[in-house]
Structure 1
Amino acid sequence: MRHGLVLFAPFTGSSLVRGWNPKFYFLRADPAAELPALLRYALAHLRGRRLGFMYMEGEYFGGIEYELVERAMSGMGYELSDVFSVESSVTGGAKKEAFDAAWEAFADTQLQAVIVFGSPTNDAVKLVRRMLAGKRTAVAYLLASSVLQYLVLRVWRAAVAGGVEFVPGQVITTGTNSLAKDTQCEAIRRFQELMREYLEKSGQKYYTDKDSFFYS
């Protein structure tokens, strides 16, 4: 502000840092804006009435979203079936006994879908792994925000490699960018045109398939 600079942020993991500032521009949607998309998908598309929520206490990400989802559910006449929340390892972490007890109670509720919000930490890895590998929770859909997308997919691949059954569509994450195949968007159609032209005429030798950008 003092030097008149304009700052651009590619994305943020927490809604806490958001706020109006004429010198600070965020290029992607507020993380809290992803929550209604996940909630709508869980309730309207998956038809999951037994919906759970997971987050870690003491982080900058998850607590606000939990309050938002409670208010949204209440406004529709619903409530969350259960919530898993223990102290994050960032602030000291819950004892193993407390973590396991909270997880057992959460898993016993036989949820149909679970929304997970949080930072991409070891806590999140532990939660996603238990969610996908546990006998009582493996049948539920797992919905996560874009900040956890890479972590969730990595843990899911590892779980499948370890013997967990692969269920197409079981894991759903939000995204803040259009897919390269989404031709409904004019910018993506233009992107496809320019990429194909580059791959065919630039003289580059790394990609022989002019549509290879679809798979990266």
Structure 2
Amino acid sequence: MRHGLVLFAPFTGSSLVRGWNPKFYFLRADPAAELPALLRYALAHLRGRRLGFMYMEGEYFGGIEYELVERAMSGMGYELSDVFSVESSVTGGAKKEAFDAAWEAFADTQLQAVIVFGSPTNDAVKLVRRMLAGKRTAVAYLLASSVLQYLVLRVWRAAVAGGVEFVPGQVITTGTNSLAKDTQCEAIRRFQELMREYLEKSGQKCYTDKDSFFYS
């Protein structure tokens, strides 16, 4: 601010650091903006009326989103079926007995879908692993924000490798960028055009297929 610099932030994991500043620009959506997308998908597309929410207390991420989802659900005449929340290991962590008791109560509610918000910590790994491997929770859809995308997919792959049944579409995450194959977006069409030209004419030898960049 003192020297008149303009700052750009590629992404943020928490909505707490967001705020209006004429010298500070965020290039991606507010993490809290991902919540309505997940909520809408769970209720309108998956039609899951037994919806749960998971977050860790004491982190910069999750508590605000929990309050927002409660408010949104109440406005539609719904309420969350259950919430899993214990103290984060970042602030000391819950005792194993308390964690296990909270999890047992949460799993017993037989949820159809669960939204998880939080930081990509060991707590999140533990929650996602239990969610996907537990007999009572493995049938539920798991919805996560983009900041947890890599963690969730990594844990899911490990769970499947360990014998958990692979269910296509069971894990859903938000994203803040258009896919490279989404031709509804003019910017992506332009990107495809320029990338194909580069792959064909630049002399690069890594990719023989000019369309390989948008396979998923």
TM-score, normalized by the shorter chain, greater than 0.5? yes
CA distance, structure 1, for counterparts of residue 144 and residue 69 of structure 2: 13
What is the SS of the residue equivalent to 2:100? helix
Shift of 1:152: 0.2
- Equivalence map 1:198-209=2 (5 Å): 198-209=198-209
Shift of 1:124: 0.2
* Residue number in structure 2 paired with 1:33: 33
Superposed CA offset, 1:180-201 (max 9, x none) = 0100000000000000000000
Shift of 1:85: 0.1
CA distance, structure 2, for counterparts of residue 62 and residue 18 of structure 1: 15
Superposed CA offset, 1:39-86 (max 9, x none) = 000000000000000000000000000000000000000000000000
CA distance, structure 1, for counterparts of residue 214 and residue 165 of structure 2: 27
Shift of 1:120: 0.2
* Residue number in structure 1 paired with 2:114: 114
What is the SS of the residue equivalent to 1:53? strand
CA distance, structure 2, for counterparts of residue 205 and residue 171 of structure 1: 35
Cα RMSD after superposing both structures: 0.6
Shift of 1:6: 0.4
* Residue number in structure 2 paired with 1:8: 8
How high is the sequence identity, in percent, across the aligned residues? Answer: 100
**Does the 8 Å contact 2:112/2:141 carry over to 1?**
yes
CA distance, structure 2, for counterparts of residue 57 and residue 207 of structure 1: 46
**Does the 8 Å contact 2:181/2:215 carry over to 1?**
no
Structure 2: gaps of 5 or more residues: none
* Residue number in structure 2 paired with 1:104: 104
CA distance, structure 2, for counterparts of residue 154 and residue 13 of structure 1: 18
Structure 1: gaps of 5 or more residues: none
What is the SS of the residue equivalent to 1:191? helix
What is the SS of the residue equivalent to 1:126? helix
Shift of 1:214: 1.4
CA distance, structure 2, for counterparts of residue 8 and residue 129 of structure 1: 35
Q: Is it true that 1:135 corresponds to 2:131 in the alignment?
A: no
CA distance, structure 2, for counterparts of residue 9 and residue 55 of structure 1: 25
Q: How many residues align?
A: 216
**Does the 8 Å contact 2:65/2:117 carry over to 1?**
yes
TM-score (norm 1): 0.99
**Does the 8 Å contact 2:10/2:27 carry over to 1?**
yes
TM-score (norm 2): 0.99
Shift of 1:132: 0.1
Shift of 1:215: 3.5
What is the SS of the residue equivalent to 2:120? coil
What is the SS of the residue equivalent to 1:11? coil
